[in-house]
Structures are given as C-alpha cells and as structure tokens.
Amino acid sequence: MRIDFDPAQFDRQGFYRLLTATVVPRPIAWVSTISGEGVANLAPHSFFNIACVAPPVLQFSAVGRKDTLRNIEETGQFVVNFAPEELAGQINETATDFPHGVSEFDAVGVASEPGLRVKAPRVAASPVAFECELHSTLRFGDSTVVFGRVVHAAVAEEVMTDGHPEIRKMRPLSRLGKDEWGTTGDVREISRIRYADWQGPAAGA
C-alpha cells in the first residue's frame, strides 16, 4: 500500500515538507557572495547539485529574493564552500535572516580568506571552495535556480589522500527534512558493472 499525494491539493508548506523529507540527504552549499557596496554575505543552500562536469557548473536554488541572489545578480560571482560537520553551528547561524547590509561573516564570526579568481570571499575553515562566475538563472515560481561556472577550485591538503579528497577527512554535513541534519555514516564501495561482465542479478544478495 502507498499513500498518494496530489501536489495540487497541498499548500506550499505542505508539499515543501514532503519534498524536503524525501529528497534526502541533500549536500549543503555554503554560498558566499559580496554586494556591489562590498558587504560580504554567507548562507547555506541545500537545494544544490552538480549541473555539469565539462564545463564544470554547479547549481543551487534561491527560494525568494534574498541577499545571496541579489549579490550574485549585482556582481555575477559567488563561492560554494563545502559544509563540514564541525562547522554545523556556524552554518546554521548564517541562515539567520540578518538585515540587508549585515555581513554573516562578521555577525557569526566566520573567518574569511580572499578568493583567487572572484571578489567574493571564501570561508577560511571550509576544506573546499568552488569559485564561480554566474552562468545563468532559471525561474520557477518563487525560486531561482542559479548556475555557476566553476572558474577555480581550492581544496585543503589535510582532506586529501593520494591526491584525492577523502570523505572521512571532509566529514560533510547534509540537510534532511524538518530541522534534521545528517552526517556521514557507513561508507561502502560498490563497483559499477559493465554489461560485458554482467552475470545476472545475484550480486544484489
């Protein structure tokens, strides 16, 4: 038995609760920007993913019109900072609706460092920064999907093993439903099976 849900019968908040509880776990883009007047901004966004690898494009959705979107429209630049478990408190605090003109870096006490290819600052303690130039935006209802061309990536040496970012060292946070957050549990390696090697479905056992 399944319970059926018709989106047309839901109000916005009701279907939001269903979507965010079931599209899980979502990675968190901790997005830093700078306004035209030079005020730095920082906010978490979990409607986030890779849009394309070649060229490298990241995407996230801004719900409504908040400072992050305004700044990106003004400057055409942003940084996606990786959200590690140990910074959960600060990440959540930067989601506070501080007034326009207040920098979350200052208000929350997040140390910044300059970007290499963009004017937006990076989060110094985050192990990965993707510096992006705005590619395009796409509107759906009250939301704007922002696509950013990655022009530079900076990864902390401490999270690398043999030249590759290591999940156990990065310890990503994720967003679940309600006010739930996730951390990385069991990590399994499962190799992709080429058709030439396919021996039937027994491997699922």
Ligand X SMILES: Cc1cc2nc3c(=O)[nH]c(=O)nc-3n(C[C@H](O)[C@H](O)[C@H](O)COP(=O)(O)O)c2cc1C
Contact between 107 and ligand X (CB under 6 A)? no
Decide whether 160 or 172 has the Cβ nearer to ligand X.
172
Choices 51-59, 91-99, 123-131, 153-161 (CB under 6 A): range interacting with ligand X: 91-99
Binds ligand X by CB under 6 A, chosen from 10, 15, 57, 66: 66
SS3 123: strand
Decide whether 11 or 97 has the Cβ nearer to ligand X.
97
Query: Is 79:129 a contact under the CB 8 Å cutoff?
Result: yes
Q: Where are the beta strands (DSSP E) in 22-110?
A: 26-27, 29-34, 40-45, 48-52, 57-63, 77-82
Choices 90-98, 112-120, 123-131, 195-203 (CB under 6 A): range interacting with ligand X: 90-98
Q: Is 43 exposed, middle or buried (0-12, 13-18, 19+ CB in 10 A)?
A: buried
Binds ligand X by CB under 6 A, chosen from 59, 68, 75, 90: 68
Choices 4-12, 38-46, 145-153, 186-194 (CB under 6 A): range interacting with ligand X: 38-46
Output the CA–CA distances (angstroms, integers) from residue 119 to 42, 74, 91, in the order listed.
14, 12, 21
Q: How far is the CB of 158 from ligand X (least distance, A)?
A: 24
SS3 69: helix
Sites of contact with ligand X (CB under 6 A): 28, 41, 43-47, 61-63, 66-68, 92, 95, 97, 175
